[in-house]
Structure 1
Amino acid sequence: MPSVATELAPQELRVLVAVAHEGGFTAAAASLGLTQSAVSHAVRGCERKLGAVLFERGRGGATPTPAGERVVGHARRILRLLELLPAEARATESARIAGPLRIAAFRSVAAQLLPAVLTRLAERHPQLTPEVRIVREIGRGTAGEVADGRADLGLATLDADTAAVPGLLAAPLFTESYALAHPAGHPDPRSLPLVDWDENCGSYTRSWWGRQDWIPSATINVADDTVVLSLAAQGVGMAIMPMLTLANPPQGLAVTDLGPRPPTRQVGYVTTPELARTAAVRAAIRELRSVPLPPGLTRAR
């Protein structure tokens, strides 16, 4: 058992999270209703107990060190579990699921899949209040939001980067194929310039992409997949896009398959081992596994 002298109390965890969120001791103190000296004293106490510097102090405020980022992530997750305890106790007694459910999702899956999931959750669990945040699937993406304690459940593209995030549970929901998006009526869309976006072509499509000698380097790279579709519809070029993004194409855009073995990506959910056992997360996963899928998606077995 760890020594009491090294254990952090919930209030100390709240101070660490507030300092990271507010970017400084003074703002954190105001948000917590404490004095600046009390916050500073609490942070120093945490650093002494853990044997690590958690924040870089400067005139501009306080920035978490790498150790601080890890500790604050764990602090958020612990505080979330403490917050869920009353709801978990009531769910066990009455089978009712209530309270917030924080979901992080990338744009296309949030737009095309989540509405049906949230509708079914509302019908079955009217006291549950989902909170959805759209997160770009770049770097640590939605998995990083879960790891850092900002989300209970993430809808993520499952690849090597996701698997590398420590301490998370990940499971596939469906496989999504890609197709060619291009101006309607163009006689040879593969000859057009390539329009791409930052979140496209992760490790799940890179091997297929590298075998194609007809795909040029991107002439335009944008930050949003809907902009890609708009540009392709207006004749600027062609794009290779996942099917959820192509579910409601703009006027003037045509979609053509990429042959019998198109590139695919796997989409699934990510959570923590502790949150995976909570009633709200279990209910959301059940709906994600049973909701009807749009065309171009194959449910994971």
Structure 2
Amino acid sequence: MTLAQMEVFLKVAQTGSFTKAGEELGLSQSAVSHALAGLESELGFLLIHRSRAGIQVTPNGERMLGYIRQILRATEQMKQEAAQLTGLQTGIVRVGTFPSVSTKWLPPILNQFQSRYPEIEVKLHEGGYDEVEKQIRTGAVDLGFIPVSKEQTDYDMEMLKNDCLVLLLPAGHPLHLHPSPAIEQIAAEPFILPKKGCDLHIKKLFREKNVQPNIRFEMENDEAIVAMVRAGLGISILPEMTLPLDMTGVHRVLMGEEIYRTIGIATTSRDSLSPAAKKFWETVTAWVKENGKNT
């Protein structure tokens, strides 16, 4: 079996399509099929199940994916180590991220990183908190940004910032006169619940006080939540980093300095990171230390 065959299988599994895998690898669909068939023949079992509904990785294929990711990652590390020995800075870094980090942090971080290491390619994989954690755990990314919790013990992690939760109120709402409204007061109002990630922190706030919020709507898009609050359709809570620039017609009330989500950068093993990934880690932590308070 060859590295090329493994790369084809991994790309088919990631894209869910022979055509897309071929496009990303610069191969024809028949070449993708041929490479996959050769790998299946050597292993002695099917890796992909094909049907009218599409393709699906078989249980045996799922087991092989873990090993293939390890092999390809080790190969990439070897290439990068060799490049370092010859004075070059090359390689690929795969980074898991969620929307607020992608919006507020990554543009200046990537700009700085690419100016320093122009030969290192950064590939971004955006998703919700759970998606990014899964990508780190399975090796689909080298490192990722995730909220830090006490339950997370499987990662090497560095905490970057405590992102305060902010209560959002329509203009003129009486709660804006309170310096720090009680959870019970908030629970009595029509509530717009954010989805995909920060809802876990918000639900925990209500659960700790043993109260149920009056949920009227559940939304994924942060700007849409702000627009609905502005229109008087309810109140909401969002992390400060997720807030759009235009907050006209919306009151922002800090929930308290001790109420926040902690954003960190994580990997399965920092010692096992490739040279390129280590450079990215170092760039991120230095940038956030210098600029994080203002974002």
Task: Please indicate the TM-score interval, normalised by the length of the shorter structure.
Answer: 0.7 to 0.9
Structure 1 match to 2:164? 177
Establish whether residue 222 from structure 1 lines up as the match of residue 219 from structure 2: yes
- 1:159 is aligned, of 146, 149, 160, to 149
Aligned to 1:242: 239
1:104-119 paired onto structure 2 within 5 Å: 104-119=96-111
TM-score by length of 1: 0.76
Match of 1:68 among 57, 61, 73: 61
- Residue 133 of structure 1 is matched in structure 2 by 125
Amino acid at match of 1:150: A
Which of the numbers 247, 254, 275 marks the counterpart of 1:279? 275
Q: Which has the higher helix share?
A: 2
Once the two structures are superposed, the pairs formed by residues 19-98 of structure 1 within 5 Å of their partners are 19-21=12-14, 23=16, 31=28, 34=31, 36=33, 39-47=36-44, 54-94=47-87, 96-98=88-90
* Cα-Cα RMSD: 3.4
The residue aligned with 1:265 is: 261
Task: Render the CA deviation track for 1:56-108: whole Å, top value 9, x for unaligned.
Answer: 443445411344234224423422432343333122332x4234322221000
Whether the aligned pair in 1 keeps the contact of 2:5 and 2:35 (CA below 8 Å) is no
Helix, strand or coil for the counterpart of 2:174? coil
Name structure 1 gaps, 5 residues minimum.
Answer: 1-7
Deviations 1:21-80 (A, max 9, x none): 4647798786475384663342143255xxxx6444434454113442342244234224
Aligned to 2:180: none
Deviation at 1:239, TM superposition (A): 0.9
Q: Cα distance 1:78–1:160, how it changes in 2: closer, same or farther (>3 A)?
A: farther
Deviation per residue, 1:128-185 (Å, 9 max, x gap): 3323332122xx3212223344322211123377546xxx533322222211112233
Among candidates 112, 130, 149, match of residue 120 of structure 1:
112
Residue 194 of structure 2 is aligned to residue 197 of structure 1: yes
CA contact (8 A) 2:193 2:218 kept: yes
Q: Which moved more, 1:56-65 or 1:216-225?
A: 56-65
Which SS does the other structure have where 1:42 is aligned?
Answer: helix
Q: Which residue of 2 aligns with 1:143?
A: 133
For structure 2, which runs of at least 5 residues remain unmatched after alignment? 177-185
Between the two proteins, the alignment pairs up a number of residues equal to 279
CA distance in 1, matches of 2:19, 2:120: 35
Measured against aligned partners, the alpha-carbon deviations of 1:252-273 in whole angstroms (never above 9, x if no partner) come to 22210113532x2221112243
Work out whether residues 163 and 261 of structure 2, in 8 Å CA contact, stay in contact via their aligned partners in 1: yes
Deviation per residue, 1:180-210 (Å, 9 max, x gap): 1122332236453111121244555544331
Is the 1:101–1:131 contact (alpha carbons within 8 Å) kept by the matching residues of 2?
A: yes
Work out the CA distance in 2 between the residues paired with 1:169 and 1:216: 35
Alignment partner of 1:13 is 2:6: yes
Q: Give 2:262's aligned amino acid.
A: Q
* C-alpha contact (below 8 Å) 1:106/1:136 kept by paired residues: yes
Q: Distance in 2 between matches of 1:18 and 1:116?
A: 29
CA distance in structure 2 between the aligned counterparts of 1:32 and 1:83, rounded to whole angstroms: 25
Question: How high is the sequence identity, in percent, across the aligned residues?
Answer: 23
Higher mean alpha-carbon deviation, 221-230 vs 75-84, is at 75-84
Q: Tell me the SS of whatever aligns to 1:195.
A: strand
Aligned to 2:243, the other structure's residue is in SS state coil
